[in-house]
Chain A
Amino acid sequence: MSRSTQSSFGTGKLLRAALYAVLILFAVYYLLPLFVMLVNSVKTLDEIRGGNMMSLPEMFTFEPWLTAWSEAQIGVEPTGLKPYFINSIMMVVPAVAISTGLGALNGYVLTKWRFPGDKIIFGLMLFACFIPFQIVLIPMARVLGMIGLAGTTGGLVLVHVVYGLGFTTLFFRNYYAAFPDELIKAAKMDGAGFWRTFTRILLPSSGPIIVVTVIWQFTNIWNDFLFGASFADFDSMPMTVALNNLVSSSTGVKEYNVHFAGAVLAALPTLIVYIVSGRYFVRGLMAGAVKG
């Protein structure tokens, strides 16, 4: 008896070791591209040309980062990625804020202020989640042209808000579906109206789902290339498009170290958002998953 438990204990340990080995292997596999990018972004161009992509830098330099940030040739101007980074921020922040806010409001109305036909409306909004980017390009270009927002940051914000609304509404509706109706009734009895119930009772309890929505929207909008390439002008071009222009430039020397640095710069904001609020992300995805 004691022997069998000991041996099963032994195999348990073995299994665990194997499990960790596999996990570490996968982690290394997934981290390898990041490693290559980081290592090569701090090498000189000569070193990259001459040597191994995987080796650590012999001469450590921040020069490629500074070049990518403020000096690299993007299109015709040697501005670096900086102005486009700012463009992206100017686009992402309002687009995320507006789409999250509207999504919360939609979720609130669809669950707590039910009206005839609300299910159909929600169904249609869900449908918006499945519409591919490419389909909306031409109609959206027409609309932006008609309302005079073509080629502006404001136009991009509008596009991303419209496109993201289906997702944000879905998130908030499912979260609020599990929110007790009695609380809304209690607020009514206490004399709170539509807006005060929303801002004082629901929103303060929506932390996890707000984090999920913000992460989701931020990553999608920041990483978007197609809308940026289609609807932006030179002075409203987002980071992703500028990075593409930097990397796929057909003139001059290919400065791989600058390209690597630029790519990391472009990915940095989403990375930071995940690291700061990643644990809420998982928690928020689970919340509302059980019920509703």
Chain B
Amino acid sequence: MSFLQIDKVCKSFGPINVLRDITLDVEEGGFLVLVGPSGCGKSTLLNTIAGLEKLTTGEIRIAGNVIDDLPPSERNIAMVFQSYALYPNMNVGQNIAFGLEMRGMPKDERDAKVAEVAKTLQIEHLLDRKPGQLSGGQRQRVAMGRALVRNPQLFLFDEPLSNLDAKLRVDMRTEIKRMHQTFGTTIVYVTHDQIEAMTLGTRIAVLKDGIVQQYGTPAEIYNDPANLFVADFMGSPAMNLIPATVRGNAVEMARAGEEPLMLEFQHLPADVRARDGQEVIVGIRPEAITDADNRALVRDGQQAVSASCRIDVVEPAGADIFAITSLGGKEVVTRLHQDWNGQANSHAKLVFNLEKVVFFDPESGVRLR
């Protein structure tokens, strides 16, 4: 049985439905990431798990016990906030000990616990400082210390990295992952950053308008998106979504001033084949379109076709070169090897990895399988 179960949870503020029938479950020691654009309800969902918001209908269970009616402090849940929310009037040691103090733990026991946590997080030398005297990374560590010291059965993280600069964010991301591996506590993590979601999560729930768009492992979400929204939201650069027409076992993409591009498949999915002559949206990630010499991105044995395409813009990014071409009236980003030496405004031979191509219905945005 799953450790954390979110069962048909709805939440409305007056007439506004913020969460609609959300059902998720996480195994013990799992890392659930709630990701979505702002206003999708992910923070509200986290607050209902924490007990800071009451849910309208539905049930949340931890280890089989319903926690809906428990106050936040009795749920044995710790939370790390976006601003870290360290008490400005207390020093680091007092901040970490505050939750224990509120639970009536004697002072010497508290001190021992704080010392232990401080040692694990390597913040022993900071214990006497006030939060105002700490750097962003140190604050996050203290915030994690405050959560860890209570030895909770569940950790909640509310966009903890969004206040940090780009480099520190990457370091702290690694730190959170390391903490998860060390302590093995179940985590629910909210972010709007899809890279954080991919790197941290064992399970990802993509939310939009209070509805779970897709729930699965990072690989499932990335390679097998359930609809256009998920395909577009996850991945950077974003997946190319190209309007195309089905022609038997091929799809045809219009090109300005040229013959249309035909991609010939061995087996089109049944839903797509059924739409012969109609329009579909073809989704191809940038790394599934590459230059003919780049064997690294298209594995042997995978179904691939090559075609000559006009390159409009070339964007070297160090490890790769992103080249932009135009298909079906859309800019299409392709990811080429860093040693590719083509030029903008000329033609180049591109390889399409057909096993990575997905199809969507242009009206509903639903995946065609």
Contacts and interface: CB of A to CB of B under 8 A. Distances in A.
Contacts of B99: 189-191
A182 B102 contact: no
A205 B89 contact: yes
Nearest to B150: A190
Contact of A180 (B83, B89, B102, B103): B83
B77 interface: yes
Given A182-B81, A182-B82, A196-B102, A189 B50 contact: yes
Contacts of B85: 180, 182-183, 185-186
B39 interface: no
Nearest to A205: B89
Interface string B72-110: 111001110111010111100000001100110000000
A91 B235 CA distance: 69
A186 B79 contact: yes
A160 B353 CA distance: 81
B52 interface: yes
Interface in A171-206: 180, 182-183, 185-192, 196, 200-201, 204-205
Contacts of A204: 89-90
B78 A201 contact: no
B98 A190 contact: yes
Contacts of B52: 185, 188-189
Count chain B CB atoms within 10 A of each CB in A182, A185, A187, A190 and give the residue with the most: A190
Nearest to B102: A191
A190 B83 contact: no
A186 to B, nearest CB: 4
A191 B97 CA distance: 12
Contact residues on B (Cβ < 8 Å of other chain), bracket:
20 to 34
**A interface majority secondary structure:** helix
Contacts of B87: 183, 186-187, 200-201
Interface in B49-86: 50-52, 71-74, 77-79, 81-83, 85
Given A191-B102, A191-B103, A186 B81 contact: yes
B54 to A, nearest CB: 13
B78 A189 contact: yes
B72 A188 contact: yes
Interface residues of A, number: 16
A78 B146 CA distance: 65
Given A191-B103, A201-B87, A205-B88, A185 B81 contact: yes
Contacts of A180: 83, 85
A174 to B, nearest CB: 18
Contacts of A189: 50, 52, 72-73, 77-79, 99
B367 to A, nearest CB: 38
Contacts of A186: 79, 81, 85, 87, 146
A205 to B, nearest CB: 5
A33 B35 CA distance: 69
A240 B148 CA distance: 59
Nearest to B147: A189
Contacts of A201: 87, 89
Contact of A191 (B73, B81, B88): B73
Nearest to B97: A190
A186 B50 CA distance: 10
A273 B80 CA distance: 42
A192 B102 contact: yes
A191 B150 CA distance: 11
A48 to B, nearest CB: 54
A205 B85 CA distance: 13
Contacts of A185: 50, 52, 79, 81, 85
Contacts of A191: 72-74, 99, 102-103
Contacts of B103: 191
Contacts of B88: 183, 205
A185 B82 CA distance: 12
A193 to B, nearest CB: 9
Interface string B93-132: 0000011001100000000000000000000000000000
Nearest to A188: B72
A291 to B, nearest CB: 14
Contacts of B98: 187, 190, 192, 200
Interface string B7-51: 000000000000000000000000000000000000000000011
A244 B1 CA distance: 83
Nearest to B74: A191
Contacts of B81: 182, 185-186
Contact of B73 (A182, A188, A205): A188
A200 B90 CA distance: 9
B132 to A, nearest CB: 11
Nearest to A183: B85
Contacts of A192: 73, 98, 102
Interface in B120-155: 146
Nearest to B78: A189
A185 B80 CA distance: 10
Nearest to B71: A188
Interface of A: 180, 182-183, 185-192, 196, 200-201, 204-205
8 contacts: A182-B83, A185-B52, A185-B79, A187-B98, A189-B78, A191-B103, A192-B102, A205-B89
Given A189-B78, A189-B79, A201-B87, 5 more contacts: A183-B85, A186-B146, A189-B77, A191-B99, A191-B103
Considering the complex of A and B, which 9 residue pairs feature the smallest CB-CB distances, nearest first?
Answer: A191-B73, A190-B99, A191-B102, A204-B89, A186-B85, A182-B85, A182-B81, A183-B85, A188-B72
